[in-house]
């Protein structure tokens, strides 16, 4: 696939590469804008970038726009594609570019151009009679877009400013092959079926309330799920030599100034005043972990010191960005901070990477790794950054874990390894991270006494494995489509008495299973058995126990399994202790 660069040169890029997708979807956004202008000439164009999956374009329409207009725009886009417009790139000086946009009434484009340096030449990409100022790159011909689909309409503030103009955002997707579009649409339909917000409500796991936008409420079954996950996390970390701590939910503003978060993260932080002193509600746990480290004199013999925390953090997310458990304003982060000597860096990175691999493998997540390098807005010396970046690469190389470079996307205090897991329908999620930090120990003047009796500065790893626990639960809900493995199921067994007549026997079975450590729920409603079975299937409970006259007489339960082929879901009669042993052995195997 040929891509046209800003300088007029072309280069060959595969659609499978990220840069290829970006150019392809960016061009598709221009096709969308051209189609809209063809149909509705008075519409004003704002911005239209490529995004992670597809593209969008923001418009200001002169009429109330809704999804019913999408088919007409999509049809117009297909006409543009069929005309096989070759893309051309050319430059204008600033004044001509401003005049060009002013003639067309494109006020949003004028605003963007005016912000560019006065001496800068403005590049335009043109397809047919439609031209738009843009830095590119783009594919060389519209005919390369073999399949496209407009997906949805949403509101979006101009430049993300809630005080700005509300625009109409149109989302779309496109591909160089029809089969890829069909595959994508199938995945989208599957994603809708698995939507954690829908399943979370149906399964009684969590809820959101108007009184706390972005702040999740975990319901009883959701708390069982969350605690099972946290117990697993705790057991794992004890075995790996971590010590668990807990730090306050808010700390003096001066602490965040020392750490650098006040300068680099202030807009995402909530603040309050206590005794005339400004406090920040923590958006992450590292400064508190640093204070714990400094509570006592440290020796090299204590290092590496691994401090883990399930820290409740708050971040000031914009209302338009909130999305179920995936994007919230309060969440629990499975933080850990490792303090070590310089000689221990690579080995500790490797241990964390192995731990992440162990956890992701357990849940059935393949993953890929990105090494993110120094951003423009950062602290520390070039030497520290070079040493830290090199150490992360050496650790991955020694483990033979491939990684790609993500230029300029490191934390403000150090480079990082980001672990992107892939779920059962092919979507990727960035969860785990390993951040190597030379800066915070310096800012907080952290020390240890070395073997030579002198004071030395420790090096610090910030790391998470699950990331946000809430978000990870959302991912798990969608990954398993609500059908959690037995060890993670909030309810493992649902008892379905055939009628009220068998309730005493059902209570006896329930108590016996609970005593064995099985999580049990009873459906005591006066409903027909078929209805109860269908409800239990919707609840996605691993095992259903049907209790009637025969089972009561034999002292058994009839077991029906959630999973497996239809002809094997009926597992027949069992003694309660047999079923308990089966579930407990499955738990042990899965954990």
**Which helix (H) or strand (E) segment is 459 a member of?**
strand 459-468
For residue 33, the number of C-alpha atoms closer than 13 Å in the C-beta half-sphere is: 30
pLDDT reported for residue 307 = 97
- CA–CA separation, 411 and 389 (whole Å): 12
CA 353 to centroid of chain Cα atoms: 19
Length of the chain equals: 591
335 is catalytic: yes
- CA–CA separation, 532 and 94 (whole Å): 71
Catalytic residue among 221, 327, 416, 471, which?
A: 416
pLDDT reported for residue 243 = 97
pLDDT reported for residue 119 = 78
333 is catalytic: yes
26 is catalytic: no
Catalytic residue among 21, 44, 196, 315, which?
A: 315
Catalytic residue among 34, 127, 333, 435, which?
A: 333
Catalytic residue among 286, 329, 418, 431, which?
A: 286
Residue 531's CB: how many other CB atoms inside 10 A?
Answer: 12
416 is catalytic: yes
Catalytic residue among 30, 37, 314, 462, which?
A: 462
The per-residue pLDDT string of the chain (591 residues; one tens digit each, 9 = 90 and over) reads 888 887 778 888 899 888 999 999 999 999 999 999 999 999 999 999 999 889 999 999 999 999 999 999 999 999 999 999 999 999 888 888 899 999 989 999 999 999 888 878 889 999 999 999 888 899 999 999 999 999 999 999 998 887 889 999 999 999 999 999 999 999 999 999 999 999 999 999 999 998 999 999 999 999 999 999 999 999 999 999 999 999 999 999 999 999 989 988 889 999 999 999 999 999 999 999 999 999 999 999 999 999 999 999 999 998 878 899 999 999 999 999 999 999 999 999 999 999 999 999 999 999 999 999 999 888 889 999 999 999 999 999 999 999 999 999 898 889 999 999 999 888 899 999 999 999 999 999 999 999 999 999 999 999 999 999 999 999 999 999 999 999 999 999 999 999 999 999 999 999 999 999 999 999 999 889 999 999 999 999 999 999 999 999 999 999 999 876 565 688 899 999 999 999 999 988 887
Q: Mind giving me the DSSP string for 77-136?
A: HHHHHHTTPBEEEEEE-HHHHHHHHHHTT-HHHHHHHHTS-TTPPEEEEEETTEEEE---
Pairing of strands 277-281, 270-274: antiparallel
As a three-state string, the secondary structure of 343-377 is: HHHHHHHHHHHHHHHHHHHHCCCCEEEEEECCCCC
- Segments in 126-249 forming alpha helices (H): 178-194, 196-202, 220-239
Who contacts 253 (Cβ-Cβ below 8 Å, separation ≥6)?
Answer: 262, 271, 277, 278, 279, 280
Catalytic residue among 30, 37, 149, 335, which?
A: 335
Who contacts 565 (Cβ-Cβ below 8 Å, separation ≥6)?
Answer: none
For residue 397, the number of C-alpha atoms closer than 13 Å in the C-beta half-sphere is: 6
pTM for the whole structure: 0.86
Contact 392, 349 (CB under 8 A): yes
462 is catalytic: yes
Contact 6, 135 (CB under 8 A): yes
| Among 549, 529, 532, 550, CA closest to 541 | 532
**Which helix (H) or strand (E) segment is 209 a member of?**
none
**Which helix (H) or strand (E) segment is 489 a member of?**
none
337 is catalytic: yes
Who contacts 369 (Cβ-Cβ below 8 Å, separation ≥6)?
Answer: 396, 401, 402, 403, 404, 417, 418, 419, 420
């Amino acid at each position: 696939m040929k891509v046209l660069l800003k300088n007029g040169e072309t280069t060959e890029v595969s659609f499978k590469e990220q840069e290829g997708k970006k150019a392809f979807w960016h061009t598709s956004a221009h096709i969308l804008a051209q189609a809209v202008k063809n149909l509705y000439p008075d519409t004003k164009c704002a911005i239209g970038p490529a995004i992670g999956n597809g593209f969008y374009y923001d418009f200001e329409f002169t009429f109330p726009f809704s999804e019913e207009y999408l088919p007409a725009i999509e049809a117009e886009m297909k006409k543009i594609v069929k005309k096989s417009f070759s893309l051309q790139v050319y430059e204008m000086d600033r004044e001509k570019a401003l005049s060009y946009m002013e003639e067309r009434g494109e006020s949003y484009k004028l605003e963007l151009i005016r912000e560019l340096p006065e001496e800068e030449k403005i590049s335009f990409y043109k397809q047919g009679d439609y031209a738009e100022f843009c830095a590119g790159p783009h594919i060389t011909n519209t005919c390369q877009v073999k399949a496209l689909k407009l997906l949805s309409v949403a509101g979006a503030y101009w430049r993300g400013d809630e005080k700005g103009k509300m625009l109409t955002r149109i989302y779309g997707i496109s591909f160089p092959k029809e089969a890829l579009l069909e595959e994508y649409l199938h995945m989208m339909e599957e994603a809708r079926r698995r939507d954690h917000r829908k399943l979370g409500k149906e399964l009684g796991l969590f809820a959101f309330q108007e009184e706390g936008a972005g702040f999740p409420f975990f319901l009883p079954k959701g708390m069982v799920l969350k605690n099972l996950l946290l117990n697993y996390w705790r057991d794992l970390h004890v075995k790996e030599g971590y010590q668990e701590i807990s730090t306050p939910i808010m700390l003096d503003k001066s602490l965040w100034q020392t750490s650098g978060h006040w300068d680099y993260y202030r807009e995402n932080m909530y603040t309050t005043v206590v005794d005339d002193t400004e406090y920040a509600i923590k958006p992450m746990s590292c400064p508190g972990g640093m204070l714990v480290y400094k509570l006592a004199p440290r020796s090299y013999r204590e290092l590496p010191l691994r401090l883990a925390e399930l820290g409740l953090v708050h971040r000031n997310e914009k209302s338009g960005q909130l999305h179920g458990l995936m994007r919230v304003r309060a969440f629990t982060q499975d933080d850990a901070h490792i303090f070590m000597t310089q000689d221990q860096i690579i080995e500790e990175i490797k241990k964390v990477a192995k731990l992440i691999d162990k956890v992701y493998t357990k849940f059935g997540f393949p993953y890929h790794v990105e090494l993110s390098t120094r951003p423009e807005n950062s602290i520390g010396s070039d030497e520290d950054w070079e040493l830290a970046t090199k150490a992360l690469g050496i650790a991955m190389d020694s483990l033979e874990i491939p990684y790609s470079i993500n230029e300029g996307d490191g934390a403000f205090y150090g480079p990082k390894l980001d672990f992107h897991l892939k779920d059962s329908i092919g979507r990727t999620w960035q969860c785990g991270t390993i951040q190597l930090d030379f800066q915070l120990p310096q800012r907080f003047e952290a020390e240890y006494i070395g073997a030579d009796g002198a004071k030395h500065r420790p090096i610090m790893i910030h790391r998470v494995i699950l990331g946000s626990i809430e978000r990870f639960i959302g991912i798990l809900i969608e990954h398993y489509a609500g059908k959690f493995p037995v060890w993670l199921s909030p309810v493992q067994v649902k008892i379905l008495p055939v009628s009220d007549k068998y309730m005493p026997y059902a209570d006896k079975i329930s108590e016996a299973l609970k005593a064995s450590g099985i999580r049990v729920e009873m459906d005591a409603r006066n409903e027909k058995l078929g209805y109860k079975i269908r409800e239990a299937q919707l609840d996605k409970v691993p095992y259903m126990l049907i209790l009637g006259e025969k089972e009561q007489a034999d002292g058994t339960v009839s077991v029906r399994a959630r999973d497996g082929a239809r002809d094997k879901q009926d597992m027949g009669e069992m003694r309660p202790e047999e079923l308990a042993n089966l579930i407990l052995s499955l738990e042990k195997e899965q954990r």
